[in-house]
Structure 1
Amino acid sequence: MDNRERRSQLYKMLEQGEEPLSGTYLSKVLNVTRQIIVGDVAILRSGGKKILSTARGYKLEDPEKGKEFWQDLNCQSQNMDAAELEDELNVVVDNGGIIHGMTLSHAVYGIIRIAMDLYSRRDVRQYMDRLRKEKGLLITALTQGKHTLSVETRNKEDMNALKEGLKGMGLLVPCESEKTTL
C-alpha cells in the first residue's frame, strides 16, 4: 500500500469509528509506525480534513458540533401581559433555545433592540422579576404586541420544537413563505 492509499484507509477508519482511534491502534492496523500516523494526520489536515486529536486518539470533527441555529422569530399577541410574556420566553428556553434579544419596530421610535441573553427558566424568572419590579407597561404595548425574538439553538430539532410551542400558544407569526391564502 502506498502513502496515498494508506492515508485514504486511515481517513475511512476515522469516518467509520464511533470512538477516537489511538495512534498506536492505527499504526498496528496500517502496519506503520505511530510517527507515520502523526504525519499522515497532518497531511490530511492540510488537505482540509477536520481531524481532532484527543487524549484518547484521533476522531473526525462532528459536523453539527459548534454549529448553532439562529433565527429571528416574529411573534404577536394582541393583549400580551407579563404572564404571557413569561410563558413565551419559557417555551423557548424549555425547548433548548437561548433568547439573545427582542426587537420591536415602532413608527415613531424606530427599531428598539433589547438585549436579553436568557438561557434557562431561572434567567427568565429573574428577567421577569426585574420587569415586575419596575411596574411599567410592557414594551410590546408600543407595537400592539408585535415583536421579534432573536433565538439560538444547538440543532434544527430544538428550533422546530420551540417554534411548535410558540405556534401552540398562538404567538408565532408565520413568515411569508409559510402563509397560506384563502
Structure 2
Amino acid sequence: MKEPTKILGDERRAYILKRLQESSEPITGGELSAITNVSRQVIVGDITLLKAKNEPIIATSQGYLYMHASRPSAAERTIAVSHGPERTEEELLLLVDHGVTVKDVKIEHPVYGDLTASIMVSNRNEVKQFMEKIRATKASYLSELTDGIHLHTISAPTEKALDEAEETLRKEKLLIDLE
C-alpha cells in the first residue's frame, strides 16, 4: 500500500489558499492537514505565512475562513456589552436570532491594548459549535480580562435588524448604553 504524497511548501500553500477561497464554509486545520498529508502544526505555519502575505484569512471557532470583500449592502456596527461568562451563549443566540452575524469580540487590555478575536457566528448551530469548543478546551473568554466589558462587531442585511438586536440586548440588560 502506497502512502499518500505530501504536498510541499509553496504548492501546499497555494492549494490551501485556493481551497479557502472556493469554500463558503470554514475549513478546519485538521481537514487541511489530512488533505495535504502534513501535520496540523504545519498548516498553522502555512496560514501564518499566507496572512503575512496579506491574504484575508481568519481563524474562527469552526475553522479557517477566507474573507471575501463584504457586500456593500450589509449593515455593520460595533456594540458595547457587559456580562459574565454564564450569559455568553444567551447573548450570541439573541443576536443570531435577529439575523445578525457576530464577527468578533474586542477588549481593551491594560498592557496589550486592543485585543480582537474572531467569532464569526451567524446561526444557532454555529453558536452551539462555538460554545462546545469553549467548553471542550476550557478556554477563557476575553471578556473575563475586563470584568465582562467587551465590544462586538456585528453585521446584518439591514440597519433595522441591527437596531432590533440592540433593543433586545438592551431589554435583557446586556447592552452598555453609551447615551
TM-score tier (shorter): 0.5 to 0.7
Confirm or deny that 1:119 pairs with 2:125.
Answer: no
Percent same amino acid among aligned pairs? 23
Length-normalised TM-score, structure 2: 0.58
Give 3-state SS (helix, strand or coil) of 2:160's partner.
helix
Map of 1:99-178 to 2, 5 A cutoff?
A: 99-175=102-178, 178=179
Gapped runs of 5+ residues in structure 2? Answer: 1-70
Contact 2:82 2:148 in 1 (8 A): yes
CA gap 1:136/1:66 in 2 versus in 1, 3 angstroms: closer
CA displacement, residues 51-95 of structure 1 (integer Å, 9 cap, x when unaligned): xxxxxxxxxxxxxx9511100000112xx12x4100001111000
Aligned length: 109
Length-normalised TM-score, structure 1: 0.57
Q: 2:81 aligns with which of 69, 75, 79?
A: 75
Inter-partner Cα distance in structure 1 for 2:159 and 2:113: 32
Inter-partner Cα distance in structure 2 for 1:70 and 1:88: 17
Give 3-state SS (helix, strand or coil) of 2:144's partner.
helix
> What amino acid is aligned across from residue 141 of structure 2 in structure 1?
L
Equivalent position of 1:52 in the other structure? none
Shift of 1:142: 0.3
Give 3-state SS (helix, strand or coil) of 1:173's partner.
coil
Segment drifting more, 166-175 vs 121-130: 166-175
Equivalent position of 1:48 in the other structure? none
Equivalent position of 1:13 in the other structure? none
Any runs of at least 4 consecutive aligned residues in structure 1 with deviations exceeding 3 A, and if so which? none
Larger Rg: 1
Contact 2:134 2:140 in 1 (8 A): no
Equivalent position of 1:95 in the other structure? 98
Give 3-state SS (helix, strand or coil) of 1:171's partner.
coil
> What amino acid is aligned across from residue 166 of structure 2 in structure 1?
K
